[in-house]
Structure 1
Amino acid sequence: MKRTVKRVLPVLLLLAAACGPRYGLRVPDALVTKLPYESRIELLESENDLALAIDRVDEASNEILRTRDALRRAKTRQAAAQDEEKRAPDATSREVAQLAIEEARARVEYLRAKQRLNVAKQEVEALSLRCAFARFELARLEATRKAKVEGSEKLEPKKYEGQLSECEAAVKAGQATLEADSAQEKTAREGWEVKKSALAKKTFDARASPYVENL
């Protein structure tokens, strides 16, 4: 529990500062500190959900970095394949080099499509994190009002419920926009798989061809 709190609290402060008036409505900490131990335990589920949302944002960011590195390598391989074509000593070598160029180009196009999807996913996960923050604050409000903490009666539940509903609707809309990016990523990957198979078949007729680098 303590490890989760240590991780979540700094994020709460950052989110409150970043969100501003949008999805940034908070329950004063002074009220929460007055909660009895039993009420604090009831907050664990929403607190853990917030920690998981943080993990998903981190993973989305890491995937962007991994794809960026893969894209850089793919461009290097494309340039190398083009050089090989120029130095090809015979028709067979030239054909292999041309297939390698086509595979490299398809790989680059696929990775670009994947990166567009990655960025869109990161944006949705970041918004989902704000929703988790709003959900956590609503849970804090409900806990303070249930425990009849002095001052909690002045807070309006509808405002906290409203910011959560608005945020969840925005996430739903964001997820809907991912469909087009996902379709483009799938099409680009299938195109790359075709070029990769052609190159592998030409070079020792194996998926483990030394000319083909798997992602």
Structure 2
Amino acid sequence: MKRFVLLTLPLLAACGPRYGMRAPDEMVKKLPYETRIELLEAENALALAIDRVDEAGSEILRARDNIRRARSRAQAAEAELDRAEDAVSREVAQLTIDEAEARVEYLRARQRLNVDLQEVEQLALRCAFARFEQARVEAARKAKVEGSEELDPKEFEAQVAECDAEVKEERAELTQGTSEEKAAREAWEGKKAALAKKTFDARTSPYVENL
């Protein structure tokens, strides 16, 4: 993990100037071993932030696959409705269509939230990067590495504070998306319950597919 984090630092720095103020690598290389150990906490936090971004991306891919499956399920149900020969079969087919369409709407709401969350996690990663750079500056000054006196810790601290404030603001804005996702899920759960009830009210009903 440590090697992965260190390889990621240049990539983060290359993303642009936003919260990208860094301590010179040449200066950090001069840190004594015992001082480098003090950077582990900030480095681990950076690794966790990277993991959260990766997980957010994976969730988007999973939701995309689920949406594709739900659409296929709705199409299959429509074909079944056309083939239904009695009232009960037609009712079950229609309920299956309703459930599939509600599932698609829920998954779309969930995907919108996933995308917004990924953006927040990407910003949080930049904050973790900024925090790591702050720790490097403080370590260099503590070890009195040549040139470290020219770096102002308050500037790095301000960078972290500004980034954290932006993350907090963006997380608060997820509230609407969360509410929409919850409402869509409840609507889908209602359609799913109606379908299950019509097909013997069984949780294992072949007509009801859980996510």
Report the TM-score range of the alignment, normalised by the length of the smaller protein.
Answer: over 0.9
Deviation sequence 1:69-97 (CA, Å, 0-9, x none): 00000000001111111110100000000
Question: Aligned match of 2:165 in 157, 164, 169?
Answer: 169
- The C-alpha deviation readout for 1:95-126, integer Å capped at 9, x for no partner, is 00010010001000000000001001100000
Q: Does 1:117 align with 2:105?
A: no
* Cα drift, residue 13 of structure 1: 0.7
Greater shift, 44-53 or 162-171, is seen at 162-171
2:4 is the counterpart of 1:12:
no
- Which of 171, 178, 181 aligns to 2:177? It is 181
Q: How far is 1:157 from its partner? A: 1.4
Structure-2 separation of matches of 1:157 and 1:38: 20
TM-score (norm 1): 0.97
1:91 to 61, 68, 87: 87
Query: Partner letter of residue 7 of structure 2?
Result: P
**Residue of structure 1 equivalent to 2:102:** 106
* 1:31 lines up with 2:23 in the alignment: no
Q: Residue 126 of structure 1 aligns with which residue?
A: 122
1:42 matched to which residue of 2? 38
Equivalent pairs, count: 211
Q: Distance in 2 between matches of 1:83 and 1:21?
A: 54
8 Å Cα contact 1:26-1:137 kept in structure 2: yes
Note if contact 1:22-1:163 (Cα within 8 Å) is conserved in structure 2.
no
Percent of aligned pairs with the same residue?
Answer: 69
Give the superposed CA RMSD. Answer: 0.7
The TM-score, its normalising length taken from structure 2, stands at 0.98
How many angstroms does 1:12 deviate by? 0.6
Conserved? CA contact 1:197–1:207, under 8 Å: no
Shift of 1:11: 1.1
Structure 2 residue 208 is the aligned partner of structure 1 residue 208? no
Secondary structure at 2:173's aligned position in 1?
helix
Shift of 1:5: 2.4
Q: 2:71 aligns with which of 60, 70, 75?
A: 75
Runs of 4+ more than 6 Å apart:
none
What amino acid sits opposite 2:159 in the alignment?
Q
Contact preservation (8 Å) 1:201, 1:207: no
Structure 2 residue 157 is the aligned partner of structure 1 residue 135: no
For structure 1, the 5+ residue unaligned runs are none
Q: Tell whether the 8 Å contact from 1:75 to 1:108 is kept in structure 2 after alignment.
A: yes
SS in 1 for 2:14: helix
User: Offset at 1:177?
Assistant: 0.8
Query: For residues 160 and 22 of structure 1, what CA distance do their matches in structure 2 show?
Result: 13
Q: In the alignment, is the contact (CA less than 8 A) between 1:47 and 1:136 conserved in 2? A: yes
Residue in structure 1 matching 2:141, options 142, 145, 151:
145
